Amino acid sequence: MSYKTDGSKHIGKDSLIGIPRQQTNPSRWSGKGWDAFVGELGSSGIDVVTEPSKLSLYRSDAGGVATGSCHGVVIARSSEMIADIMRAAQKHRIPVTVKGGGLTTEGESVAFGGLQLDMRGMSKVINIDREDLTVRTEAGIYWHSLAESLRRYGMDYLSAPLNMTSSVGGTLGVGGIDVNSPRLGCSADQAVALKVVTPRGDIVECSEEDNRDLFELVLLGYGQFGIITEATLRIRPFTPITMHYFYYSSLREAMEDLKMLTREDAADYLGILTMLDRAINLLVAFDSDEREKMFFSNWRNKIRGHGEMGFAVRTAAHYLLRPWKLREALYLLDRKRTLLPALSPSHHIASGKIVDRSVVFSRAVWRFWGGRQMVIPDLATSEDKFVDAILKGNEVCKKYFDHYTLYCVGIKLHGKLPRYELSCIPPDAQDFAYGCEFEPMLEGKTYSRDYLQSFKNEIYDIGVEMGTSYYRFGGMMKGYIRRVFGDELVDRYLKMKEKADPSMILNRDVIF
Amino acid sequence: MATSARYHSHYDVIIVGGSFSGAACAKRLVDSGYSTLILEHKKLPRHKPCSGIVSPRGHRFLLENFGPVPDEAVHSPKTCRGVVFHYPSMLSMPMDFHYGPTLHLNRKYSDHWALLQSGADVHERTHLESVEDKGTSVEVIARTEGEHIRYRARYVMGADGPNSTVVRSVYPGYEKTIPWFKVKQYFHERIDCPLDDDYFHFWVHPDLGFYTWSHLRNEGQIVGVGYGAGDDLNKRHERVVSYLEEKHGVRLKPTEKREGSINNFGLSLINRYVFGKGNIIITGQAAGFLNIIAEGMSCALHSGAIAGEATVDALRYNNSIQDTYRKMISSEVKRCSDQWNPFKIIFGNPHEADFMAALKRHSRSDRRRIIRDIWSFLRPWGKYGWGRQIVTQAVFRRLIDAYAPSRWL
Ligand SMILES: Cc1cc2nc3c(=O)[nH]c(=O)nc-3n(C[C@H](O)[C@H](O)[C@@H](O)COP(=O)(O)OP(=O)(O)OC[C@H]3O[C@@H](n4cnc5c(N)ncnc54)[C@H](O)[C@@H]3O)c2cc1C
Ligand SMILES: Cc1cc2nc3c(=O)[nH]c(=O)nc-3n(C[C@H](O)[C@H](O)[C@H](O)COP(=O)(O)OP(=O)(O)OC[C@H]3O[C@@H](n4cnc5c(N)ncnc54)[C@H](O)[C@@H]3O)c2cc1C
């Protein structure tokens, strides 16, 4: 016998109040039409990898919690090839899941059946224009490789996620936050033009001038409205950076100072990294000596953070009076001994300045958190809600884990851009949004998915309760999007999606 | 016998038991692309005696993993608002489920639907007889329509419920070391029933039985009783029916319609779970997950999913499945055993309905009577010697923030 259910007619309408009624773990796609699809691709000379041993590389994403399995993989080689794939996929109704770096943590880049399109086959830098300060690159490239290519010309990208293997295309679709986002905005905002393959298989060049609707839909569009195959990005001359830390024992004070410094554009790089909620590190860095000097003359005295010595003395006194907190003190010492030096490794430093920020921040930072599983729920808020939301999130972290880090930054907004609607930018943010990731230290332990998901849901629930957004280290998911943005807005986008992607095959189950 | 058996193809994983824990486990494995077979000894869809009140957490699991629940999968009334505890002092204590009413499942169809949604292969009317761990694979011998079949799988999951053949096969003689309980539910036509139909009713009454309940289903009234195996439940049931009439004015027609099952209740109280050996792992009620206030299905679903995740992990990384499973399952052990942990009950609200808040709604003197009633209800349980173990486990839980894994089999 078979069962028919109409999702809109849920049984027990008054059950699970406040909990989304959605199948967030989709069923694996049945495989109907797969052979005909593969046959059609074969006749266009497109090879689909189906050997189980190769497919097993695609079972999960950086989160390591959601696992799926595709029917086959294509390594992307050109926009034309992707266009052929999308046309055939529409015709045969084959789900296509795009993977760049695969650094999602909720399984968004994992295929639950169907075709996995691996964008890493398109990772060439096409052109660097030092006059115009732009780079044209294929979208499957890792930021880290892009940085290397740009360095040969004395150039650098503007802002990119702090990790080694996220791709340009994957990042432009979700946001991208860096410690210079308070000044430069999210990574998506450095895009000048994109080449996109639409879900129907058209190749379209778009920018603020041409095909703007598509440009705005694809940027921060969670991969719903097209596959980014090439991007023109703004770049800048490379500069080594000087970094300083200020230490706080109050999270609230650190966040208030971060907001003030962000508003006043006091530093080129700015962020909070906590070690414990009474040992908070405000990171401040500069591209030039002038900006550094200005900071010390204009703002240093306005912030409440201590230098390393001052903080060490206070912290020692705190723990001497509280000998029962010895374990906490030892943990802090260990962090100081291992983490802080990793943030300024000598081989990436010349004349006291960091010369390789992408490597330093990404490797150094993640080495301490990552493991086979990785949970990084986040919240993105307006300035007003920032402190309260993060303090609530801090309490949730405490409930679930012994140790965790909060990583907070400001994100500059470039006006009221259409791309910010239904995105990581909270609707009520003006001029700046603020983001915080909640990163538990898994410390080699293995947790059940349910435990980790319960933790994440509690963080995301703060977003629902307070009306924030998620800057999508894996946040904006199907289960939350309607609760945060409301049915009207989501349905408007769903209609656009249905029009653009009639078979609803591109990156299914991510938000719709 | 086994040597002449028909040989079946090799699977990554074979799950024994086509119920909720099996379906949840299968869902994780199939999603990850592993070939998965479920063996179910009954013809599907199969009947299962159960009150069917799935806790909100279980309801959520069903929606998130299997999609909207179909109409066939619920009884009438479709939902249940909460649980009412009735005490000998004639005080009663309604407790609403968190997040509103929850579903009243018809296990015949809800389980079958979940099984189909999991996407695994299912061999129904196939009774597992034994499992043998061969080191790098497990040999499974089952019987279908009088014929023996041999299967082989990398891993085998025992999700075959309270009276688990997999547990018997892996731990010979184990069943003699634990107490067994019988529950029976009787279906009555109603003459008059003043009990609130929106709730599941439970009697915290030492003279009625270990587990005494009643609720509305499909216009009739269920009266259920539970006691140690060997007890005459029909007699106990008669007593409960006259108690209900005398004390609550419930008038029911006599009935012959009844069904029952035997249960391994108690393992979660004292943190004595059974998780398997080598390439065989055990989950759901077979492992000891069972709880008060509509928690059997929820912990079957969650523990089953965890068994699936641990297996995926073992298959992907060639890890020890036992190590991974035992680490991952500790969160579910906490959730389940916390529900019996006196410290957690007083300070932690571990159930999906707020017991302490309901208690606080009573006057101080009534509260005292209720506590006295609860205490007298617990006294007959004394013969199982669980009291000290519960307290020790609760102390451990406070000290090491976990239930000691060393007590698990
Ligand atoms: C250890 C770690 C550190 C991180 N640090 C940061 C950080 O500092 N800042 C930050 O902002 N984020 C950070 N993230 C999150 C991650 O970088 C972002 O999710 C994003 O940049 C991922 O890029 P990706 O190439 O890995 O995308 P993927 O994970 O491959 O894909 C992301 C989404 O976009 C889709 N997609 C991928 N490529 C394309 C394309 N070319 N066209 C259309 N759709 C596409 C996918 O289907 C998926 O839905 C971190 C994540 C981890 C695990
Ligand atoms: C009367 C009663 C009322 C209950 N009320 C509730 C309630 O209201 N709410 C709640 O949450 N829980 C309730 N429970 C508990 C709940 O039913 C169980 O905890 C839950 O079903 C356990 O699920 P499981 O998947 O672990 O095993 P089961 O549901 O017991 O399923 C085991 C499956 O394995 C099959 N099987 C067994 N042996 C073999 C074999 N050798 N070979 C092949 N297949 C085999 C069986 O046919 C069965 O389908 C109740 C239980 C009873 C008895």
What HEC string does chain B produce? CHHHCEEEEEEEEEEECCCHHHHHHHHHHHHCCCCEEEECCCCCCCCCCCCCECCHHHHHHHHHHHCCCCHHHEEEEEEECEEEEECCCCCEEEEEECCCCEEEECHHHHHHHHHHHHCCEEECCEEEEEEEECCCCEEEEEEECCEEEEEEEEEEEECCCCCCHHHHHHCCCHHHHCCCEEEEEEEECEEECCCCCCEEEEECCCCCCCEEEEEEECCEEEEEEEEECCCCHHHHHHHHHHHHHHHHCCEECCCCCEEEEEECCCCCCCCCCCCEECCEEECHHHHCCCCCCCCHHHHHHHHHHHHHHHHHHHHHHCCCHHHHHHHHCHHHHHHHHHCCCHHHHHHCCCCCECHHHHHHCCCHHHHHHHHHHHHHHHHHHHHHCCHHHHHHHHHHHHHHCCCCHHHCC
Q: Is the CB of A102 under 6 A from ligand 1?
A: yes
Structure tokens at B366: 């009534």
For the domain A242-480, what is the CATH code?
3.40.462.10
Q: Is the CB of B299 under 6 A from ligand 2?
A: no
Residue spans of the domains in chain A: they are 13-119+486-500, 125-237, 242-480
Q: How far away, in angstroms, is B47 Cα from ligand 2 center?
A: 10
Interval B360-387: pLDDT, tens: 999 999 999 998 998 888 888 888 888 8
Domain end position, chosen among B307, B337, B367: B337
List the residue whose alpha carbon is closest to atom 51 of ligand 2: B50
| Residue B221 belongs to domain spanning | 181-263
More confident position, A49 or A478: A49
Residue B390 pLDDT greater than 80, yes or no: yes
Q: Is the CB of B128 under 6 A from ligand 2?
A: yes
Domain end position, chosen among B318, B337, B356: B337
Indicate whether B192 and B299 sit together in one domain: no
Indicate whether B115 and B30 sit together in one domain: yes
**At the topology level of CATH, where does A13-119+486-500 sit?**
3.30.43
Domain end position, chosen among B337, B359, B386: B337
In a domain, B252, yes or no: yes
Which of A57, A78, A86, A98 is the best mutation target for the ligand 1 pocket, counting ligand atoms within 8 Å of the beta carbon and taking the most?
Answer: A98
Indicate whether B131 and B162 sit together in one domain: yes
Indicate whether B119 and B151 sit together in one domain: yes
Interval A313-353: pLDDT, tens: 999 999 999 998 898 899 888 888 887 777 777 777 888 88
Residue B3 pLDDT greater than 50, yes or no: no
Residue A277 is predicted with a pLDDT of 83
Give the amino acid at B69.
V
Q: Is the CB of A104 under 6 A from ligand 1?
A: yes
Interval B245-269: pLDDT, tens: 999 999 999 988 899 888 888 888 8
Indicate whether B45 and B133 sit together in one domain: yes
Indicate whether B277 and B130 sit together in one domain: yes
In a domain, B65, yes or no: yes
Please state the separation of Cα A188 from the chain's center in Å: 11
How many CB atoms lie under 10 A from the CB of residue B196? 15
Task: Let me know the angle formed at the C-alpha of B62 by B52 and A455, rounded to the nearest 5 degrees.
Answer: 120
Interval A151-170: pLDDT, tens: 999 999 999 988 878 999 99
Indicate whether B205 and B304 sit together in one domain: no
Residue B2 is predicted with a pLDDT of 40
Mean pLDDT of B174-193: 92
Nearest ligand (C-alpha, residue B300): 2
Residue A474 pLDDT greater than 50, yes or no: no
B365 burial class (0-12, 13-18, 19+ CB within 10 angstroms)? exposed
Indicate whether B132 and B246 sit together in one domain: no
Interface ipTM = 0.81
Nearest ligand (C-alpha, residue B54): 2
More confident position, B113 or A445: B113
Structure tokens at A158: 């503007």
Structure tokens at B69: 């629940």
For the four alpha carbons of B170, B176, B178 and B182, in that order, the dihedral sign comes to positive
Q: Work out how many CB contacts closer than 8 A connect A with B.
A: 137
Are residues A157 and A178 in contact, defined by beta-carbon separation less than 8 angstroms?
no
CATH number of the domain that B231 lies in?
3.30.9.10
Provide the Cα torsion A425, A427, A431, A432; round to 10°.
-40
Residue A79 pLDDT greater than 60, yes or no: yes
d(CA B249, CA B192) in angstroms, rounded, equals: 8
Contact: A445, B101; criterion CB under 8 Å: no
Q: Is the CB of B141 under 6 A from ligand 2?
A: no
Interval B34-84: pLDDT, tens: 999 999 999 999 999 999 999 999 999 999 899 999 999 999 999 999 999
In a domain, B291, yes or no: yes
Residue B292 is predicted with a pLDDT of 61
Are residues B250 and B193 in contact, defined by beta-carbon separation less than 8 angstroms?
yes
Window A:362-401, CB contacts with B under 8 Å: 372
Give the amino acid at B272.
R
Residue B326 pLDDT greater than 50, yes or no: yes
Contact: A25, B79; criterion CB under 8 Å: no
Q: The domain A125-237 is classified under which CATH number: 3.30.565.10, 3.40.50.300, 3.30.465.10, 3.30.2420.10?
A: 3.30.465.10
Angstroms from B96 CA to nearest CA on chain A = 11
**pLDDT range class, residue B1, cuts 50, 70, 90:** very low
Q: Is the CB of B264 under 6 A from ligand 2?
A: no
Q: How far away, in angstroms, is A443 Cα from ligand 1 center?
A: 24
Task: Let me know the angle formed at the C-alpha of B266 by B264 and B268, rounded to the nearest 5 degrees.
Answer: 110
d(CA A337, CA A328) in angstroms, rounded, equals: 14
Indicate whether B35 and B111 sit together in one domain: yes
Q: How far away, in angstroms, is B189 Cα from ligand 2 center?
A: 26
Which of B15, B41, B339 is the best mutation target for the ligand 2 pocket, counting ligand atoms within 8 Å of the beta carbon and taking the most?
Answer: B41
For the four alpha carbons of A363, A368, A372 and A376, in that order, the dihedral sign comes to negative
Contact: A372, B317; criterion CB under 8 Å: yes
Angstroms from B331 CA to nearest CA on chain A = 6
d(CA A138, CA A232) in angstroms, rounded, equals: 9
Contact: A28, B119; criterion CB under 8 Å: yes
* Helix (H) and strand (E) counts in chain A: 17, 17
More confident position, A106 or B171: B171
Indicate whether B145 and B287 sit together in one domain: yes
Indicate whether B172 and B186 sit together in one domain: no
Q: Is the CB of B165 under 6 A from ligand 2?
A: yes
Q: How far away, in angstroms, is A173 Cα from ligand 1 center?
A: 8
Give the closest of A1, A68, A449 to B45, CB-based: A1
d(CA A166, CA A142) in angstroms, rounded, equals: 5
Give the closest of B69, B73, B331 to A447, CB-based: B331
Are residues A412 and A183 in contact, defined by beta-carbon separation less than 8 angstroms?
yes
Average pLDDT across chain B, whole number: 91
Contact: A69, B32; criterion CB under 8 Å: yes
Nearest ligand (C-alpha, residue A369): 1
In a domain, B322, yes or no: yes
Indicate whether B186 and B278 sit together in one domain: no
Find chain A residues with C-beta within 8 A of B301's C-beta: none
Find chain A residues with C-beta within 8 A of B72's C-beta: 3
Peptide bond into A323 cis (omega under 30): no
Give the closest of B74, B99, B109 to A11, CB-based: B74
Please state the separation of Cα A124 from the chain's center in Å: 22
Residue B393 is predicted with a pLDDT of 86
Find chain A residues with C-beta within 8 A of B45's C-beta: 1
Are residues B125 and B42 in contact, defined by beta-carbon separation less than 8 angstroms?
yes
Residue found under tokens 């079949």: B149
Which of B50, B268, B301, B332 is the best mutation target for the ligand 2 pocket, counting ligand atoms within 8 Å of the beta carbon and taking the most?
Answer: B50
Q: Is the CB of B297 under 6 A from ligand 2?
A: yes
* Structural domain total, chain B: 2
Contact: A69, B112; criterion CB under 8 Å: no
Q: What is the DSSP letter of A167?
A: B
Residue B7 is predicted with a pLDDT of 65
